[in-house]
Chains A and B, each alone.
Chain A
Amino acid sequence: MSQAKGLNLTLKIWRQQNAKSKGKIETYQIENISPDSSFLEMLDILNTELIDKGEIPVEFDHDCREGICGSCSLYINGEPHGPGKRITTCQLHMRSFKDGDTIYIEPWRAAAFPIVKDLIVDRSAFDRIQHAGGYISVNTSGNTVDANATPIDKHDADEAFNSATCIGCGACVAACKNASASLFVSAKISQYALLPQGQVEAKDRVLNMVKQAEKEGFGPCSNTGACEVECPKGISLENIARMNREFLAASIS
C-alpha cells in the first residue's frame, strides 16, 4: 500500500445520451488520484466531482469489481480492458498510469453491441447465443446418477474448466476487426465438448450457436488472434480450433 503521490490526468470520455443520439468525446481533468485506486474508483471520483458541479455523471457498467461478473467493459487507450494482460477494467489500477497521462475511454464498438448510454453497451446478443444451445438438456430434479458415477479424466476436466471461465464480457468482440464472437462462442462449446455429459447434443449445439452468432451480426473469424491477447480470462485460440472441428463434423454428418 504505497503512499505515492497522486496522479493528475486528462480524461477523454465518450458521452452519448442514448442509442439513437450521436455521441462525442468530452474532455475532463482530474487531480490527485491515488495510484492504489482502481480505474473504476477513479471514475467514481470523477462522477462525484461532476455531481458536485451539477453535471451529469458518466454511465458505465460494473458490479463485482473483482474481475468475475463480466459487467465492466471499457475500451481504454485503444485496448479492451486497458493496459495489462489478463485483467478486466475493474482490476486495472491507477499505478499503471503516469502523472500527466491522457486517457481515452470509450465503449465496446460492435454492430451487435449497440450503445445504451455513454460507456454502456447492450450485450444481450451473447445471452441469445446461449439460448440457442448453451446448456445440457437435463432436468434439475436431482434424480440423476451419482456425481462420481462417471470419472472424468483430470486433464479434460481442467480443460473444460478453463473454457468455462469465460466471463462473457465481450472484450474479444471489441478487440476483433471483424467484431467476431468466435472466442466467446467456442469457449462454451468447448466446455461441453470436453465433458461426457455434453456429448449427446454436441452436434446441434455447435450448429445452432454458430448460426445464432451470425444472425446477431457478429463477423467471421479471420484468425488474427487479437481476441486471445485481450481476453481477461486467457481463453485460448484452441477453443476456436475445437469449435471449427466440431462444426465441420456436425455439418457433414
Chain B
Amino acid sequence: MILDSKIPEGPLKDKWTNHKNNINLVNPANKRNIDIIVVGTGLAGGSASATLAELGYNVKSFCYQDSPRRAHSIAAQGGINAAKNYQGDGDSTYRLFYDTIKGGDYRSREANVYRLAEVSASIIDQCVAQGVPFARDYGGLLDNRSFGGVLVSRTFYAKGQTGQQLLLGAYSAMNRQIAKGKIKMYNRHEMLDVVIVDGKARGIIARNLVTGEIERHSAHAVVLASGGYGNVFFLSTNAMGSNVTAAWKAHKKGAVFANPCYTQIHPTCIPVHGTQQSKLTLMSESLRNDGRIWVPKNLEDAKAVREGKLKAVDIKEEDRDYYLERRYPSFGNLVPRDVASRAAKERCDAGYGVVANDTNEGVFLDFASAIMRYGKEEAHIKGIENPSNEEIRKLGEKVIENKYGNLFEMYMQITDENPYKTPMKIYPAVHYTMGGIWVDYNLMTTVPGLYATGEANFSDHGANRLGASALMQGLADGYFVLPYTIGDYLANDIRTGAIPTNTPEFDAAEKKVVDEINKLVNNKGTKSVDYFHKKLGLIMWNKVGMSRTTEGLKEAIQEISELREQFWKEVRVPGSADDKNSELEKAGRVADFLELGELFARDALEREESCGGHFREEYKTEEGEALRRDDEFAYVSAWEYTGKPSEAILHKENLNFENVELKTRSYK
C-alpha cells in the first residue's frame, strides 16, 4: 500500500485555493441524486451534514444519543481559535499555522495545518451569522482570551460553554435542513460496520438502539465524524458513550489507522476520588490564564495537606513551588498541555502531590493572586479610594465569577470545596486523541468514498493539540473543507443511481454484525462489561499513559491481548438483543477498545522518541524534557489491519517540512 497524501502542488499559501479551483464539481441538479451518510453529529458531523444538505445532497445523519444536540462536542468549555487578529497582537494565518505545527511537535502535515489556519476566520463569521452568542466586550465587539502554548489572544468563547454554543449553532443549521427533508436524522442509532462494494464505501450497518433492529443504509459516500477514543482508558473526560467502534470497524475494512498512541492528557482535571468513579471532569484550560499552579516546597507540608492537617491557604508564599513558572519562565502557567501534564506528574511522583487518593495525585490551581489583581483593577475603575482587602477580594471574585462562574460551580458540585476561597486541586487526565483514521488532503481514508473528519481523523494536530483547536478543526472540516473535496469524488457518481442494499456485500456485513451481537448476548460469562473496561483502563493508564517504557509497553501488549481473550470467554451481557440494552452497547464498544488498545501500545513501542503527548522514558534530555528524533521519526505511523492487532502492518508517511524549520520545542 502506498499512502498518497494528495497534497496539492504550489506554494503553501496557494495550495487550498488552487486545489479548490482545480477539483471537479457536481452540478446542483445532480446533487439531488446523490446520497451521503454522515456518522456523528458533533461539530464535525453536524456541520458537514448541514452544509452538504444545503448544497443539495441527500444526507442521512446518525448519532447514538437521543438528539444530535447531545454529541460530545457539547461539553467543550474553553473556546475556539481563529486567526482574526481582532486584538491587534500580531496574529495572522501564518502565526496560527506555525503555532499549531510547533505545538504538535512537528508531527503534522504542513499543508493541512495551513488550510486549517486559513479557513479559521470564516468559522467565526459563520457562527455569528447563525446566532452563536460569543462573549463580547462593552463596545459590543467580540472578546478573546489566550490559551496554552501561544503568545496571542485568538480564542473566541462563550463563557465556559463554547462547545455547547457552537454545537447548538450546527444543530440549528441541521434543523433547517431536517425541516426541508434534506437531512434524515437517525437518533439512537449506532453504526456497527461500513459496507464496501467494488472497493468503495457504499453504506453502513446500524443498530436501532431502541428496537434492536439491524438496519442497512446505503449511500454514495460515507463520512465518519464519530469523535475520539480516549475512553480506551476507561476514565477520561470524554462522554460515557464516546467510542472507537465506528472508526475501528472502518479500520478493519481497510481504513488505515494513524498514530494511535498520540493521546492528549489534559493538565487541569479534577483528581480521581475513588474506585467507584465513572469519569473525570475537565476544568477548562482557560483557567490557566488566571490560575497559578503549585505544590508545597516541602515534603512534610505536602503530607500534612494530604492528611488534612494543613490548609493550602496557610502555606506561606516562600514555601510554595510554582513549578511551571520556575521551569518555564517565558510561558509559565501557559505552557502547552503535554508539558504541563508531565510537570505535574513529575512533582507528584516525587512525593509533592496534595490529594489523598491511592496515588496522591493532585496539585493546586490557585486564583488568589488573580482575584486580588482584578479586584484592584475594578476598584480603580469604580473610583473606590483606599479599598480594604476585603472589598478588593469581593470585586475580584466577581470578575472571576463572570469569567469562569460555571466552571467554579461545577467544581464545587463535585468536590464540595469553594475555589474562590481555597485553591482548586487538579491533576492530568485523558482528554483527546490526536491519532485517528488516516486521511489524505481531501479527508478521504484509504477506502475510496470513506471520509473521516473531526477528532476521528488524525490530520491536523500532530503529536499534541493546542487548546481551542479541536472545535476549530471540527467546524473547518465540516463547513469548509469536506463540502468541496467530497464533490471531487462524487462527480464520478452522478450516473450511478441509488445504491441497492439487497446485495451480497450488505448481506455479509449484516451477518457479521448479527453474529457478534448474538455471541455477546449468548455468552455464558460471569463478569460485567465494566469489569473488563476498568482493567483495560488501568493497563493503559499505568503503562501506556503519560510516560512509557519499552518494558511497560511490551507488558501492556501482552496483558491487553490476554484480557481480550478473557473478555470473550467471561463477559456477561444481560438482557436481549431486541430492545434497549445499554450493556450490549457497552460490550460492543469495549470489545473494540480491547483491540485498539493493543495497536495503541504497539504504536507507542515502535515510536522510539518522545514527542508531544508521547513520552518515552528512554528518550529525554538531561533536564527531563522530551527528546524528539527527527532524523528517524518524522513520519506518520499508519497501521493496516490484516486480521489481528498484533499483525497490523506499519506504513510510513514521511512528513516534509518546507516552510518551517524543525526546532526543539522550547517554552523556557
A residues in contact (CB < 8 Å) with B: 1-3, 17-18, 33-34, 36-38, 40-41, 44-45, 48, 50-52, 54-57, 59, 61-71, 86-87, 91, 93, 95, 116-117, 120, 122-124, 126-127, 130-132, 134-142, 144-148, 151-154, 157-158, 160-161, 164-165, 167-168, 191-192, 195, 197-198
Give A50 to B574 CA distance when docked, in angstroms.
9
- Contact: B135 with A63, CB < 8 Å? no
Give A44 to B173 CA distance when docked, in angstroms.
36
> B151-182 interface mask toward A, CB cutoff 8 Å, 1 = contact, 0 = none?
00000001101011100100111011011000
Name which of B141, B241, B279 has the most chain A CB atoms within 10 A of its CB: B279
- Contact: A1 with B175, CB < 8 Å? no
- Contact: B528 with A134, CB < 8 Å? no
CB distance from B404 to the nearest CB of A (A): 15
Q: Which residue of B lies closest to A71 (CB)?
A: B70
Name which of B119, B163, B574, B583 has the most chain A CB atoms within 10 A of its CB: B574
Residues of A within 8 A of B86 (CB): 148
Residues of A within 8 A of B185 (CB): 127
Please tell me which one of the listed residues A69, A146, A165 contacts residue B239 in the complex, with CB atoms under 8 A apart: A69
CB distance from A180 to the nearest CB of B (A): 20
Give A132 to B274 CA distance when docked, in angstroms.
46
Interface presence of B125 (CB below 8 A): yes
Q: Which residue of B lies closest to A60 (CB)?
A: B582
- Contact: A147 with B580, CB < 8 Å? no
Please tell me which one of the listed residues A3, A71, A139, A165 contacts residue B66 in the complex, with CB atoms under 8 A apart: A71
- Contact: B65 with A63, CB < 8 Å? yes
CB distance from B485 to the nearest CB of A (A): 15
- Contacts A56-B575, A57-B583; is A134 near B413 (CB within 8 Å)? no
- Contacts A70-B70, A136-B131, A136-B172; is A154 near B274 (CB within 8 Å)? no
- Contact: B416 with A95, CB < 8 Å? yes
- Contact: B410 with A147, CB < 8 Å? no
Residues of A within 8 A of B158 (CB): 161, 164
Give A161 to B158 CA distance when docked, in angstroms.
8
Interface presence of B140 (CB below 8 A): yes
Interface presence of B289 (CB below 8 A): no
Q: Which residue of A lies closest to B156 (CB)?
A: A147
CB distance from B100 to the nearest CB of A (A): 20
Please tell me which one of the listed residues A17, A61, A68, A71 contacts residue B579 in the complex, with CB atoms under 8 A apart: A17
Sample 16 A-B pairs with CB under 8 A, ordered by A number. Answer: A34-B273, A38-B278, A44-B276, A63-B72, A65-B239, A68-B163, A93-B416, A135-B130, A136-B131, A144-B129, A148-B86, A148-B141, A152-B136, A157-B135, A160-B133, A164-B165
Give A56 to B279 CA distance when docked, in angstroms.
23
Give A1 to B353 CA distance when docked, in angstroms.
14
CB distance from A131 to the nearest CB of B (A): 4
CB distance from A249 to the nearest CB of B (A): 19
- Contact: A1 with B273, CB < 8 Å? yes
Residues of A within 8 A of B268 (CB): none
Interface presence of B51 (CB below 8 A): yes
Give A41 to B414 CA distance when docked, in angstroms.
12
Give A139 to B47 CA distance when docked, in angstroms.
11
Please tell me which one of the listed residues A18, A41, A59, A140 contacts residue B47 in the complex, with CB atoms under 8 A apart: A140
Interface presence of B210 (CB below 8 A): yes
CB distance from A49 to the nearest CB of B (A): 10
- Contact: B137 with A154, CB < 8 Å? yes
Residues of B within 8 A of A40 (CB): 278
CB distance from A50 to the nearest CB of B (A): 8
Please tell me which one of the listed residues B74, B142, B273 contacts residue A64 in the complex, with CB atoms under 8 A apart: B74
Given contacts A54-B574, A63-B72, A197-B130, 16 further A-B pairs with CB under 8 A are A1-B274, A1-B357, A33-B276, A59-B580, A59-B582, A67-B410, A70-B74, A124-B67, A127-B69, A127-B178, A135-B173, A136-B131, A145-B125, A148-B86, A154-B137, A158-B133
> B489-504 interface mask toward A, CB cutoff 8 Å, 1 = contact, 0 = none?
0000000000000000
Q: Which residue of A lies closest to B582 (CB)?
A: A59
- Contact: A122 with B131, CB < 8 Å? no
Please tell me which one of the listed residues A33, A86, A197 contacts residue B128 in the complex, with CB atoms under 8 A apart: A197
- Contact: B125 with A144, CB < 8 Å? yes
Give A27 to B488 CA distance when docked, in angstroms.
60
- Contact: A164 with B133, CB < 8 Å? yes
Give A63 to B238 CA distance when docked, in angstroms.
9
Interface presence of B391 (CB below 8 A): no
Query: Which residues of chain B from 256 to 287 have any CB-CB distance to chain A below 8 Å in the complex?
Result: 271, 273-274, 276-279, 281-282
Give A40 to B414 CA distance when docked, in angstroms.
13
CB distance from A229 to the nearest CB of B (A): 17
- Contact: A37 with B125, CB < 8 Å? no
Interface presence of B113 (CB below 8 A): no
Q: Which residue of A lies closest to B277 (CB)?
A: A41
CB distance from B77 to the nearest CB of A (A): 9
- Contact: A136 with B133, CB < 8 Å? no
Residues of A within 8 A of B628 (CB): none
- Contact: A138 with B124, CB < 8 Å? no
Name which of A2, A64, A134, A197 has the most chain B CB atoms within 10 A of its CB: A64
- Contact: A51 with B574, CB < 8 Å? yes
Give A136 to B133 CA distance when docked, in angstroms.
13
Q: Which residue of A lies closest to B137 (CB)?
A: A154
Give A165 to B134 CA distance when docked, in angstroms.
12
Q: Which residue of A lies closest to B479 (CB)?
A: A140
> B61-76 interface mask toward A, CB cutoff 8 Å, 1 = contact, 0 = none?
0000111111010110
- Contact: A68 with B413, CB < 8 Å? no
- Contact: A124 with B66, CB < 8 Å? yes
Q: Which residue of A lies closest to B415 (CB)?
A: A1
- Contact: B72 with A64, CB < 8 Å? yes
- Contacts A37-B276, A56-B574; is A131 near B131 (CB within 8 Å)? no
Give A48 to B75 CA distance when docked, in angstroms.
27
Residues of B within 8 A of A122 (CB): 66
Please tell me which one of the listed residues B67, B75, B135 contacts residue A66 in the complex, with CB atoms under 8 A apart: B75
- Contact: B356 with A61, CB < 8 Å? no
- Contacts A54-B574, A122-B66, A137-B176; is A34 near B278 (CB within 8 Å)? no
CB distance from A129 to the nearest CB of B (A): 10
Residues of A within 8 A of B187 (CB): 124, 127
Query: Which residues of chain B from 48 to 84 have any CB-CB distance to chain A below 8 Å in the complex?
Result: 50-51, 54, 65-70, 72, 74-75, 84
Interface presence of B383 (CB below 8 A): no
CB distance from B388 to the nearest CB of A (A): 29
> 9 closest pairs, A vs B, by CB?
A151-B140, A142-B122, A135-B172, A161-B133, A147-B128, A144-B129, A160-B133, A131-B179, A69-B70
> B356-387 interface mask toward A, CB cutoff 8 Å, 1 = contact, 0 = none?
11000000000000000000000000000000
- Contacts A144-B126, A148-B86; is A70 near B69 (CB within 8 Å)? yes
Give A117 to B584 CA distance when docked, in angstroms.
15
Q: Which residue of B lies closest to A145 (CB)?
A: B125
- Contact: B413 with A93, CB < 8 Å? yes
Q: Which residue of B lies closest to A192 (CB)?
A: B131
Interface presence of B572 (CB below 8 A): yes
Q: Which residue of B lies closest to A163 (CB)?
A: B133
- Contacts A164-B165, A192-B131; is A154 near B281 (CB within 8 Å)? no
Interface presence of B139 (CB below 8 A): yes
Give A142 to B481 CA distance when docked, in angstroms.
11
Residues of B within 8 A of A152 (CB): 136, 140
Interface presence of B240 (CB below 8 A): yes
- Contact: B65 with A71, CB < 8 Å? yes
- Contacts A18-B579, A56-B574; is A134 near B175 (CB within 8 Å)? yes
Give A130 to B479 CA distance when docked, in angstroms.
21
- Contact: B530 with A48, CB < 8 Å? yes
Residues of A within 8 A of B240 (CB): 62-65
- Contact: A140 with B50, CB < 8 Å? yes
- Contact: B175 with A142, CB < 8 Å? no
Q: Which residue of A lies closest to B413 (CB)?
A: A91
Q: Which residue of B lies closest to A51 (CB)?
A: B528
Interface presence of B355 (CB below 8 A): yes
